Chain A
Amino acid sequence: MNKKERRAILFSPKDNVATAVSDLNVGITASLLIKERKKEVLLKQAIKFGHKFSIKPINKGNPVIKYGEIIGLATEDIPEGYHVHIHNVESRRGRGDKEK
């Protein structure tokens, strides 16, 4: 793929989400390089610029990983190619609501 046309960015080979770098429609395939191996992810949902999608299934309660670090936990099972955001990820930090 031409660099200028790239659709998504993966920060670390440990990551289970990638970040869209243009608005991506349903049915588009995003190509990612994971440790020099090409991975194709078919998008089941539209992903807006800057938003994340799963590049492998993430089970409920499991960590969502970006930058090679845990950015939160999945609140439901997320199959590959789905939008990963506040509707299906919760933070583990600053949770005053859980202290009540």
Chain B
Amino acid sequence: MNILGYKREDGSVGFRNHVLVLPSVSCANKVAEEIANRIEGAVVIPHQCGCGQLGEDREQSIRVLVNVAANLNVAAVLVVGLGCEGIPADFLRDKILKFNKPVETVVIQKEGGSLKTIEKGTRIALRMVEESSEIKREPVNLSEITLGLKCGGSDSSSGISANPVLGFAVDSLIKHGGRAVFTETPEMIGAEHILAKRAANETVKKRILEVVSRFERKAISYGVDIRGANPAPGNIEGGLTTIEEKSLGAILKAGSGPIEQVIEYGERPGKKGVIFMDGTGYDPQSLGGLLACGAQITVFTTGRGNTCGTAIAPVIKVSSNNRLYESMRENIDFNAGTVVSGEETIQQAGQRLFELILKVASGKMTKAEILKDNAFDISRLGISI
């Protein structure tokens, strides 16, 4: 079975063909946004990192910024720096160059201000779009897909319909040799024993239990009940009572296949199949981490409704109940509520979702893409210095 994608120089495949304008530091956000907004085909991901960071916190931000630029949906990168930041533009460029794509930089202090940088950067972005737009879609194998898995604004129906329906689609993708990455470590608490049984080997099993326990200990160190933050107030109103219940419903979206690898937040996986990325359940940060680990498409299930998309990769929104689908159609791409009402089985809806994923891979736009939603954030491990 073939889909249409953009083949990169080394044979790897993207399903979108964006020029990324990447601020190296939050001080360069405005200039980067001005550049991207002027150029059709250019996207920008404003963020709050890039300076005043130390140790593992700085390393993590660098990893995410570099790996987001490496995402195969990105054809070329323009890094915009301020000039005095802790993660300089040229430093990022050198790391991104390893991924065999055009990378250039503009630095505000060097150019002599915002307007001069916007002008120079806009001319560079114009040329990058002109060149990358010559790359045409061609038939590629399904195994090229790295699918991000995410849920947000969950309620009790997410575990009945949207998550198991996504799980079915994930199993189909894995059968075709693809890769699916699930994350949100707090939403493994109470379900880690089930995931551990799915580990491909002892190392992965140990790692799953370790990262969940590490996350839980961190949460406990705040000295309060995790309930209220997770499950969040909306989750509770939707019928979810405890983190264990939420987790047991959440993990259904990762299908049933063996878990091949556990990766750090924003790390690029080395294996195909089902991958677990250690990370937060906070939507913009999960989406940022999934972009960095290489997801060219993400499926996002929701019971209460959610708007988050990303500029770099399409996000397919799946509603878990008919009420939500009716009330927020402008944000929802796929309704799995039919499983709750009994109109469809999990398998039927799962097959339909799988087909939609392939259509989106080949170019069909998602609601979040059309609405230009751009939720992006990087998880922090430390304080700003």
Interface residues of chain A, those whose CB is within 8 Å of chain B, are 3-4, 6, 9, 19-21, 48-52, 64, 66-67, 69-72, 84-86, 89-97, 99-100
Q: Give complex CA distance A76, B241 in Å.
A: 15
Q: Which residues of A contact B342 (CB under 8 A)?
A: 3-4, 6
Q: Give complex CA distance A84, B156 in Å.
A: 13
Q: Which residues of B contact A69 (CB under 8 A)?
A: 190-191, 194, 244, 248
| One of B223, B224, B236, B244 near A93 (C-beta < 8 A) | B244
Q: Give complex CA distance A53, B249 in Å.
A: 17
CB proximity of A8 to chain B, nearest CB, Å: 11
Interface residues of chain B, those whose CB is within 8 Å of chain A, are 155-157, 159-160, 186, 189-191, 194, 216, 219-227, 230, 236, 238-239, 241-245, 248-249, 303, 321, 323, 340-343
**Would you call B241 and A89 a contact (CB within 8 A)?**
yes
| One of B220, B248, B341 near A21 (C-beta < 8 A) | B341
**Would you call B221 and A96 a contact (CB within 8 A)?**
yes
Q: Give complex CA distance A82, B34 in Å.
A: 57
Q: Which residues of A contact B243 (CB under 8 A)?
A: 91, 93-94
Q: Give complex CA distance A79, B204 in Å.
A: 42
A and B contact pairs by CB, cutoff 8 A, 19 listed: A49-B239, A66-B248, A67-B245, A67-B249, A69-B244, A69-B248, A71-B244, A71-B248, A72-B241, A72-B244, A89-B241, A91-B243, A93-B242, A94-B186, A94-B189, A96-B219, A96-B224, A96-B226, A97-B224
| One of B219, B220, B238 near A50 (C-beta < 8 A) | B238
CB proximity of B358 to chain A, nearest CB, Å: 29
Interface residues of A, dominant DSSP: mixed
Report the nearest B residue to A100, measured CB to CB.
B223
Q: Which residues of B contact A94 (CB under 8 A)?
A: 186, 189, 216, 219-220, 225-227, 230, 243
| One of A19, A50, A71, A96 near B190 (C-beta < 8 A) | A71
Q: Which residues of B contact A92 (CB under 8 A)?
A: 190, 244
**Would you call B242 and A96 a contact (CB within 8 A)?**
no
Q: Which residues of B contact A21 (CB under 8 A)?
A: 157, 160, 340-341
**Would you call B239 and A51 a contact (CB within 8 A)?**
yes
With contacts A84-B241, A97-B223 known, is A4 near B156, CB below 8 A? no
Q: Which residues of A contact B194 (CB under 8 A)?
A: 69
Q: Which residues of A contact B219 (CB under 8 A)?
A: 94, 96
Q: Which residues of B contact A93 (CB under 8 A)?
A: 189-190, 216, 226, 242-244
CB proximity of B236 to chain A, nearest CB, Å: 6
Q: Which residues of A contact B303 (CB under 8 A)?
A: 50
With contacts A49-B321, A51-B156, A86-B236 known, is A67 near B220, CB below 8 A? no
Q: Which residues of B contact A9 (CB under 8 A)?
A: 160, 340
Report the nearest A residue to B320, measured CB to CB.
A50
Q: Give complex CA distance A20, B157 in Å.
A: 9
Report the nearest A residue to B251, measured CB to CB.
A67
CB proximity of B245 to chain A, nearest CB, Å: 4
**Would you call B216 and A52 a contact (CB within 8 A)?**
no
Report the nearest A residue to B304, measured CB to CB.
A50
**Would you call B157 and A95 a contact (CB within 8 A)?**
no
**Would you call A96 and B223 a contact (CB within 8 A)?**
yes
**Would you call A99 and B223 a contact (CB within 8 A)?**
yes
With contacts A49-B239, A50-B239 known, is A91 near B224, CB below 8 A? no
Q: Which residues of B contact A71 (CB under 8 A)?
A: 190, 241-242, 244-245, 248
CB proximity of B198 to chain A, nearest CB, Å: 15
Report the nearest B residue to A6, measured CB to CB.
B342
**Would you call B321 and A85 a contact (CB within 8 A)?**
no
Q: Give complex CA distance A86, B199 in Å.
A: 32
Report the nearest B residue to A2, measured CB to CB.
B342
Report the nearest A residue to B154, measured CB to CB.
A50
Q: Give complex CA distance A93, B188 in Å.
A: 11
Q: Which residues of B contact A90 (CB under 8 A)?
A: 242
Given contacts A20-B239, A94-B186, 6 further A-B contacts (CB under 8 A): A19-B156, A52-B156, A72-B242, A85-B241, A94-B227, A96-B225
Q: Give complex CA distance A96, B341 in Å.
A: 38
**Would you call A67 and B248 a contact (CB within 8 A)?**
yes
Report the nearest B residue to A97, measured CB to CB.
B225
CB proximity of B108 to chain A, nearest CB, Å: 43
Q: Give complex CA distance A51, B239 in Å.
A: 4
CB proximity of B281 to chain A, nearest CB, Å: 12
| One of B189, B223, B225, B343 near A4 (C-beta < 8 A) | B343
Q: Which residues of B contact A6 (CB under 8 A)?
A: 342
Q: Give complex CA distance A51, B236 in Å.
A: 9
